Amino acid sequence: MNRKFLNYAIFIAVVAIVVGFAVRHSRHMAYLVDSMAGPDREKRVAAAKELVKGEQFMDAITGETVSRKIRIVQALEDWAEKDAVAQAVAFLKDPDKPV
Q: From 26, 47, 50, select the one nearest 38 (Cα to Cα).
A: 47
* pLDDT number for residue 94: 63
* pLDDT number for residue 8: 93
For residues 53, 84, 81 and 25, what is the CA-based torsion angle, rounded to 10 degrees?
A: -30
Task: Quote the pTM value.
Answer: 0.76
* pLDDT number for residue 54: 84
* Cβ contact 89:52 at 8 Å: no
Residues of the chain with pLDDT under 70: 1, 94-99
* pLDDT number for residue 96: 62
Other CB atoms within 10 A of residue 93 CB: 8
- Residue count of the chain, please give it: 99
Domain ranges of the chain: 3-93
* pLDDT number for residue 98: 58
